[in-house]
Amino acid sequence: MPIALPLISTNVRSFAFWKLLRLRFRLGGLVAPAATVERASALFCTPYPGTRERALAAPTGDARLDVIDAGGHALTRYTWGEPTRQPYVLFAHGWSSHGARVLPWVQPLRDAGYAVVAFDQPAHGRSEGRQSNLYDFTERLLDVGRLTGPAAAVIGHSLGGAAAGLALARGLQAERAVLVAAAADPVDAGRRFARRIGLSEGLRRRMYELFETRLSIRFDEMMAERNAPAIDRPALIVHDLADREVPWCEGERWARHWRRARLLDTRGLGHHRILGDPEVLAAVLRFLDGDAVGDRLVSSPNLAHVA
């Protein structure tokens, strides 16, 4: 069965790559911890190889593309419709993704009367740069919102969902919010990354201390439970129960601490297919139309998280 051979070969190469990477970081942590922390921090902030090429090859439909100055960064913006004359939806893509990822949603949103605006974050798609991070995602989303004007809704996927929540708490103007498979805990994301590359917890903490010093931030101030209570607008949190990249409990945290949020669980869609699922899109359209979609959580918001 020759059609299966490339897949098997790719899986073997991927397994060998990660095994070698983990070995290098384990050994590096023993003999050169400071240099290992620097290498880990660079890797953590660098989109996956090949994602820019895939973004450049992705269709954009009838989008109008322009380059905007967002906080000193030249970012590519995608526009469908006329956001200056009709309500528009602002889309925030996830890590190693791109703005045109929203394309399957564009026509249904246009049919519902919305224009759609998306953009490529730094180091993603057609935008400049080699590295980015959650802080950068949040700040650039705020910049694009200010340049484009108040939105009818902001929709964010994965890291873009986390950035949407943080941006709303910091003044992003959007009447409604949809967070799809959104991360809620940047510290736990770092732990998952460290486990994947074989970085010890001690060096993971040093890596985050390095980020906090260089970016003048505190990661505990970027947790969902620290930001969601400040957001006073309706939200729909959509998360798959079997998401392997961002656990379901992180979506639950956003929903529990956001007093006007509802949680919509899905089953079997995982982290990526959830964004293209027709039933998810239909639920989001109902939510944008004012319907009550999903479930209101009643657990105590005083709990930090659910494992």
**Per-residue pLDDT for 211 more than 50?**
yes
99 and 105 in contact (C-beta within 8 Å)? Answer: no
Confidence of residue 306 (pLDDT cuts 50, 70, 90): very low
**Residue 30 located in a structural domain:** no
**Residue 33 located in a structural domain:** no
Residue predicted with more confidence, 179 or 48: 179
Domain carrying residue 273? 51-185+218-288
pLDDT of residue 49: 87
pLDDT of residue 3: 31
Closest of 108, 24, 78, 104 to residue 287, by C-alpha: 108
- Write the pLDDT tens digit of every residue in 236-262: 999 999 999 999 999 999 999 999 999
**Residue 273 located in a structural domain:** yes
Distance (Å, whole) CA 285 – CA 106: 11
**Per-residue pLDDT for 9 more than 50?**
no
| Three-point CA angle 118, 238, 112, nearest 5° | 50
Closest of 283, 168, 182, 187 to residue 230, by C-alpha: 168
**Per-residue pLDDT for 10 more than 80?**
no
Distance (Å, whole) CA 129 – CA 123: 4
**Per-residue pLDDT for 201 more than 60?**
yes
Distance (Å, whole) CA 225 – CA 209: 21
Q: What is the mean pLDDT of the chain?
A: 91
Alpha helices in 45-150 (DSSP H): 51-57, 103-111, 134-148
**Per-residue pLDDT for 50 more than 50?**
yes
**Residue 36 located in a structural domain:** no
**Residue 8 located in a structural domain:** no
Distance (Å, whole) CA 177 – CA 191: 28
Confidence of residue 298 (pLDDT cuts 50, 70, 90): low
pLDDT of residue 126: 97
Q: What's the Rg (C-alpha) of the chain?
A: 19
How many domains would you assign to the chain?
1
**Residue 108 located in a structural domain:** yes
**Residue 31 located in a structural domain:** no
If DSSP codes are grouped into helix, strand and coil, which group holds residue 150? Answer: coil
The H or E element containing residue 47 is none
**Residue 298 located in a structural domain:** no
Strands (E), 181-281: 235-240, 261-266
Confidence of residue 41 (pLDDT cuts 50, 70, 90): very high
**Per-residue pLDDT for 128 more than 90?**
yes
170: CATH = 3.40.50.1820
**Per-residue pLDDT for 227 more than 70?**
yes
Average pLDDT on 21-41 reads: 91
Length of the chain (residues)? 307
